[in-house]
Amino acid sequence: MEIRDYLRVVQRQWWVVAIMVFVALGVTQVINKKTTPEYAASAVFFLSSARDGESSVLEGSMFVAARLKTYTELLTGEQMLKEIAASTNTGLSLDDIEERITVTVDSGSVLLTVTVTDTMPSRAEKIADVLVKRFPPLVQVLEKRTAAAGPAVVVEIVQPVLLDPDPVSPRPLHNDALAVAVGLLVGAAAGVIREVCDSSLRVAGVLPGLTGLPVLALIPIDRRVRRKLRAKDSGPFVSDSRSARAEALRQLRTNVQFADRDHPVKILAVTSAMPGEGRSSTACGLAILFAEAGQRVLIVDAELRRPRLAAFLGREGSAGLTTVLVGAASLDQVLQPWGSGLWLLASGHRPPNPSELLGSARMEELIAELRDRFDKIIFDSPPLLPVTDGAVVAARADGALLLVRARKTTAAQVTAAVRALAAVDARLLGPVFNMVAAPRRRIGLPTSADTTGPPLPPAPRPGGWNAIALSGAL
């Protein structure tokens, strides 16, 4: 991957990185609150050789350097710990005192730093005071030579006991900075993993290779209507006629009309590989736009397992296609007008055998009757892969549209859907790339994201509507 590819990953997976950073910050906040503050008291010793004469300076320095490890162990030795316990009377065991003492030696120097860390600052200061008082005399006794000469090593106190008033642990700013760094790294890694493992289609350019047909339209999402849906506003839910989605549906209408002049499409099946790819909204949008062009249009809810068109258009769904197929009602009794030039044939009651009912001889007779009464018939068909209903409906239509949802449908699902249509000799007009990211607004071209300018046209009412296309949110 190039740098440009990584930047695209960050752009698409920024929310993963943000979540990881917030999680890491949350963990550090818990750690900061749960950790008992600790205070540190420190002192610094300078060790030098007591040998006289210039010729012995190098030798004395090497002698002191060789002794540093011994002095480090001496500061935490049993004798020193006993003296600390006896002098401070803190009630701590020798092991507890040893855990609180840290001895460090600066590289290339003869400075010895002793740090005592404790949850009680006064106790840390007491232990450090005892170390400062006891350590130099102890070294003097252990390093003494003859009675005529002094000790070989002299210990001087460079820095007396200094108590840091601020806690050394926890360090909130340090922990927060570390959490942000870790969150960014983990989030970036998670984003790359998600990107690699995600096999969904992101661009429409691969669809011609998978289906063997050109892409008929790229239909964007109308995010304003999606917000309306989340608010559970009463439907029908429509996009503005000036929106990018409405323009894309008009392009799709034109491409369907001129797909094959020798074999015009009068009955159109709108299907997809899997559920949730926007079939109902696309079918309704096309039906409205065909009716806008002056045609008599019927939209049929052939999704007998999970019907949605009646609720989507605000009509009654208990009587419809299944009612006519079983002979419980005539076609005129269940047809419902919606606007001017558009009628709805709802699904009706859910049958126990949807595939058999859609493939029955009565269904074929009904389609023949509908051909004589309407200029355009659009079927909201079931998905192709979970059940066989979609292939049955597509086989009876003059042509089928295969909806592919951006960032959800995979290449394998598209290939399987094309094979399912080919198995029943259904005529595939082409793929439609649905729910793509809405295009940016350009000057002079209002989109569905506009919040200024003239008021938007109202939602359609029974008996009339004006150049609107249903949203892709369903």
| Half-sphere CA count of 178, side-chain side, radius 13 A | 11
| Cα(109)–Cα(112) distance, integer angstroms | 9
pLDDT of residue 74: 85
Q: Helix, strand or coil for residue 62?
A: helix
Which residues have a Cβ under 8 Å from the Cβ of 69 and sit 6 or more positions away? Answer: none
Output phi, psi for 406, to 5 deg: -65, 135
CA quadruple 86, 90, 92, 97: dihedral sign: negative
Q: Which residues of the chain have pLDDT under 50?
A: 54-55, 146-148, 232-235, 441-469, 472-474
DSSP secondary structure, 144-170, as one string: ---SSS--SEEEEEEEEEEE-SS-SBS
Long-range contacts of 457-462, Cβ-Cβ distance < 8 Å, separation of 24 or more: 457/240, 457/241, 459/236, 459/237, 459/238, 460/236, 460/238, 460/338, 460/339, 462/337, 462/338, 462/339
Q: Helix, strand or coil for residue 121?
A: helix
pLDDT of residue 238: 58
| Cα(320)–Cα(316) distance, integer angstroms | 9
pLDDT of residue 63: 65
pLDDT of residue 187: 87
Tokens linked to 89: 């009377």
| Cα(278)–Cα(401) distance, integer angstroms | 12
Superfamily of domain 39-163: EIF_2_alpha (3.30.70.1130)
Residue type at position 440: R
| Cα(291)–Cα(343) distance, integer angstroms | 9
| Cα(45)–Cα(295) distance, integer angstroms | 98
pLDDT of residue 228: 52
pLDDT of residue 392: 95
| Cα(420)–Cα(387) distance, integer angstroms | 10
**Cis-peptide, bond into residue 170, ω within 30° of zero:** yes
Predicted TM-score of the model (pTM): 0.63
Q: Decide: 195 and 13 in contact? Cβ < 8 Å.
A: yes
Delimit the domains of the chain by residue range. 3-35+171-197, 39-163, 204-470
pLDDT of residue 444: 36
H or E stretch covering 46: strand 39-49
Output phi, psi for 314, to 5 deg: 75, 40
Tokens linked to 67: 């002794």
pLDDT of residue 194: 78
pLDDT of residue 58: 52
Output phi, psi for 148, to 5 deg: -80, -20
Tokens 């009912």 label which residue? 357
What CATH number does the domain located at 204-470 have? 3.40.50.300
Q: Decide: 175 and 28 in contact? Cβ < 8 Å.
A: yes
pLDDT of residue 106: 74
pLDDT of residue 139: 81
Which residues have a Cβ under 8 Å from the Cβ of 305 and sit 6 or more positions away? Answer: 350, 354, 382, 387, 389
